[in-house]
């Protein structure tokens, strides 16, 4: 497996803390520079060591619950979504339940997740299509999933990987986007382009793991407003640490 290509300990990690891996902008990974690609692979391997048990935080028991929880998670925390879905999933058990419910009632049920009107509209619309076109079952392909209201590649990647074990790509959320750009894994800001860059660094079977470890690192260390560069294991491999630690 990809992450076994690099084995680290506190003793030998310093061997990689060199200027070889502090790539200036001209060594864009988009140009497939071999040193830049190896730096990315080293960083990912270290992150895997840091977060060996990284796993999704959303609670769900089936593909439909995962789909609904992921739609709800936009601009909210997984902790809050889990509070809401604890009751929601007892009330709505099938796609037909969501499709047939009164929109205002569903809005009230998910109110505390934020952006509740748009989320309720998308959930009800997605459920209706699932009932009408997929016999009440969440579809299992990227092409089908992204036709559902409120479902883009990020949500589709999450559902495919975690509900069906199908790896199509990498779910690029706000944490993945931020950490990837700060570590200079990508120069892009568009999620689909970021996904394409990340896909080029590892075998397909590792892609969901990469998404999870980047999310964990974004939540715990590489936070949006004030990253904790001083305690980050990657600080000597990260071009952005020089900027943040210099403030």
By annotation, the residues acting in catalysis are 154, 173
17 by Cβ neighbours in 10 Å (0-12 / 13-18 / 19+) ranks as middle
CA distance 164 to 28: 34
DSSP string covering 168-190, please? -S----HHHHHHHHHTTS-S--S
CA torsion through residues 152, 153, 158, 159, sign = positive
CA-based torsion, 48, 53, 55, 58: positive or negative: negative
Contact 72, 84 (CB under 8 A): yes
Q: At what angle do helices 63-72 and 116-133 cross, to 10 degrees?
A: 150
Scanning the structure block, which residue is given the tokens 């403030």? Answer: 247
């Amino acid at each position: 497996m990809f992450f076994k290509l690099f084995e680290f300990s506190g003793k030998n990690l310093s061997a990689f803390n060199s200027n070889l891996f502090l790539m200036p902008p001209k060594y864009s990974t988009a140009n497939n520079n071999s040193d830049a690609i190896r730096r990315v692979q080293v960083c990912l391997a270290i992150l895997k060591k840091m977060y060996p048990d990284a796993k999704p935080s959303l609670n769900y028991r089936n593909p439909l619950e995962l789909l609904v929880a992921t739609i709800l998670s936009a601009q909210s925390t997984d902790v809050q979504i889990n509070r809401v879905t604890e009751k929601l999933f007892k009330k709505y058990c099938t796609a037909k339940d969501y499709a047939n419910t009164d929109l205002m009632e569903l809005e009230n049920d998910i109110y505390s997740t934020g952006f509740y009107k748009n989320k309720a509209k998308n959930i009800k619309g997605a459920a209706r299509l699932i009932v009408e076109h997929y016999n009440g079952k969440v579809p299992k392909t990227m092409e089908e999933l992204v036709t559902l209201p409120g479902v883009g590649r990020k949500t589709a990647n999450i559902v495919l990987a975690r509900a069906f074990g199908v790896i199509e790509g990498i779910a690029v959320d706000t944490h993945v986007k931020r950490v990837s750009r700060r570590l200079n894994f990508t120069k892009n800001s568009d999620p689909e382009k970021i996904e394409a860059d990340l896909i080029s660094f590892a075998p397909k079977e590792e892609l969901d793991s990469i998404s999870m470890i980047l999310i964990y690192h974004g939540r715990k260390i590489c936070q949006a407003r004030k990253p904790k560069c001083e305690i980050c294991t990657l600080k000597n491999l990260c071009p952005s640490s020089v900027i943040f630690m210099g403030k």
